[in-house]
Amino acid sequence: MTSLVAGRAGPAAAAAVCLAAAVALHVAIDRWPPPAIDTPGLLYVRSPEVARRAALSYDGVAADVYWIRALQHFGTERLAPPSHVKDYSLLYPLLDLTTTLDPYFSIAYRFGAIFLGEPYPGGPGRPDLAIALLKKGLAAQPARWQYMQDLGFVYYWHLRDFRSAAQAFQRASEMPNAPNWMRPLAAVTLAEGGHRNASRALWVELAKSEEPWLRNSAVQRLTQLDAMDIMEAWKRARDQGLNPPIPDDPSGTPFVFDPATGGIIISPASKLFPLPGQLQAPR
């Protein structure tokens, strides 16, 4: 060791040797992974007002950090293995912090509302919080028709409250720069009380999103709507005295006969499970 450290190259060589030893030890200890502990998420600052003040004039970048945390929290819980009890309890506080730090962070309101409304276990199943988030966005930017459209969407898809949905679409259509398809959408929703066509129109619009995950989600929803069409047609045929065979859903999994209704329902094994209203989220 003395001879190693001696001379000009000694310390550099010693540092390199120690680093190599540390890497080797790291590789070795990776063979014994630490016991898996399902640690709950932690949020040190829960008060949006405290976070806003603590951020000084760097609230924009602090909002970005909380937004990334919200995405990671949602993604981690959503993609967690089945053994993990999915807990989305930090999602709304993180989104609340994000949007207080940056009240104009439109994507946090819009995507956040989609995340919050997703039925459990794919999301927290909290359309009430999705509505609260979008209303907060509307308070910050009252002329954003997109927030009002998203509000109508939450009422329509998650709460099946077609009257409130139609009102929201109507109000969105009256906002500046709202697209011309918004008014017919409001009319269809109001007139038909939840016709699947109106729902399709919404998802088709979302399927044009720039975000691949949102496009994929929209395609999944459109496929679910196709499955609902098949279920309805099958029930109609059965009610007419026919005895149709149990078909496969559009994802290729056979439907399941439901003795309670005399119809067919989507199998829990299907990629399309759950259909809207098929599962209640824990509160």
Partner 1 sequence: MSTIGSVAAAVFRESVRDRVFYNLVLFGLLLVGASILIGQLTAGQDVKIIKDLGLTATSLFGLFIAIFVGINLVSKEVERRSVYALFAKPVTRSQFIAGKYVGLLLTLLVNVAVMTVALYSVLFFLARGVPAPIQSAWDAPAMDPALLKAVLLIFVDLAVVTAVALFFSTYSSPMLSAIFTLGVYLVGQFNADLKRFDAIVDSPAAIAVAKACYYVMPDFSRFDVKLAVVHGIPVSGAFVAATAAYAAVYIAALLFGAMVIFARRDFK
Binding site for partner 1 (CB under 8 A): 53, 56-61, 63-64, 67-68, 71-72, 102, 104-107, 111, 210-211, 213
Min dist. Cβ of residue 64 to partner 1 (A): 5
**Of the two residues 67 and 273, which places its CB atom closer to partner 1 in the complex?**
67
Min dist. Cβ of residue 223 to partner 1 (A): 22
Q: Residue 212's Cα: distance from chain center in Å?
A: 13
Rg of the chain (C-alpha set): 26
E strands of the chain, at which residues?
A: 256-258, 263-265
C-alpha dist (Å) from residue 49 to 54, 99, 138: 9, 11, 19
**Of the two residues 112 and 162, which places its CB atom closer to partner 1 in the complex?**
112
**Of the two residues 53 and 196, which places its CB atom closer to partner 1 in the complex?**
53
Min dist. Cβ of residue 52 to partner 1 (A): 11
Min dist. Cβ of residue 210 to partner 1 (A): 5
**Contact, 145 vs 176, CB < 8 A?**
yes
Min dist. Cβ of residue 103 to partner 1 (A): 8
**Of the two residues 209 and 251, which places its CB atom closer to partner 1 in the complex?**
209
For residue 89, give both structure tokens.
């309890």
**Of the two residues 46 and 53, which places its CB atom closer to partner 1 in the complex?**
53
**Of the two residues 115 and 273, which places its CB atom closer to partner 1 in the complex?**
115
d(CA 120, CA 269): 16
Q: How many CB atoms lie within 10 A of CB 203?
A: 19
d(CA 109, CA 101): 13
**Of the two residues 98 and 199, which places its CB atom closer to partner 1 in the complex?**
98
Query: CB-based contacts of 221: which residues, under 8 Å, 6+ apart?
Result: 199, 203, 206
d(CA 146, CA 209): 13
Burial class (CB in 10 A: 0-12, 13-18, 19+), 207: middle
Min dist. Cβ of residue 136 to partner 1 (A): 16
Min dist. Cβ of residue 212 to partner 1 (A): 9
Type of residue at 205: E
